[in-house]
Amino acid sequence: MRISGGLARGIELSVPKGDSVRPATDGMRQAVFSSLGARVEGARFADLFAGSGAYGLEAFSRGASGGTFVERNSRTAACLRRNIAAVCRSLGKGGGEVVAVEADALSLPTGTGAAPDLIFVDPPYEMIGEIAPALFGKLSAALGPDWKGLVVFEMPGEERLEPPGWSCAKRLGRGTRQPSVAFFMRAP
């Protein structure tokens, strides 16, 4: 798996051995970032359930100003830190723009300063039904009603989420047992 666009294009990302991480496919990431377009440049991001960090590192490579990766598994977080270091080297950055936090994504440690503009959520698929309501509830409370960013949520194509106070602006992919991504905005 590699960074597919931006200044770090081609940098290989490590994935821990075993089946604890299901990285976002190159094709899905390309579709997501094609849809995001100019929103990425200068944006702050949070990559929740970060795993290999593919979404956040892709954003950073494509011009995001920085962000926070949240991963609770210590072995996976160590792999994530190696991926961050590789992308930062490629970009000629010291790494101070991004931080990896070992924590539960539901605790919402999204760094310091302003709220992120883009929040990538790629949880283990089997947990979505359990965590999605709590996650969107916490995001609603943390971000406030005037937040203008996007939550980019990867899930299986057959999954449907309709969190209160949020609207799905766009959906990429819908096939059964295929990855799909929904773009959620605060409902007007």
Residue 22 within any structural domain of the chain: no
Residue 5 within any structural domain of the chain: no
Q: Per residue in 158-184, pLDDT tens?
A: 999 999 999 999 999 877 778 899 999
Mark 118-154 as b/e (b = at least 16 C-beta within 10 Å).
bbbbbbeeeebeebbeebbeebbeebeeebebbbbbb
Q: What is the pLDDT of residue 109?
A: 64
Residue 47 within any structural domain of the chain: yes
Residue 20 within any structural domain of the chain: no
Residue 50 within any structural domain of the chain: yes
Give the separation between CA 79 and CA 17, rounded to whole angstroms: 10
> What single-letter amino acid sits at 75?
R
Residue 88 within any structural domain of the chain: yes
Q: What is the pLDDT of residue 183?
A: 97
Residue 73 within any structural domain of the chain: yes
Q: Per residue in 50-102, pLDDT tens?
A: 999 999 999 999 999 999 999 999 999 999 999 999 999 999 998 789 999 99
Torsion over CA of 108, 112, 114 and 115, rounded to 10 degrees?
A: -10
Structural domain of 93 = 41-186
- Name the domain count of the chain: 1
Residue 34 within any structural domain of the chain: no
Give the CATH number, domain containing residue 89. Answer: 3.40.50.150
Give all strands of the β-sheet with 150-156 in edge-to-edge order.
98-101, 66-70, 44-48, 118-121, 150-156, 179-186, 166-172
Q: Per residue in 107-140, pLDDT tens?
A: 876 555 678 999 999 999 999 999 999 999 999 9
Residue 89 CB coordination number (10 Å):
13
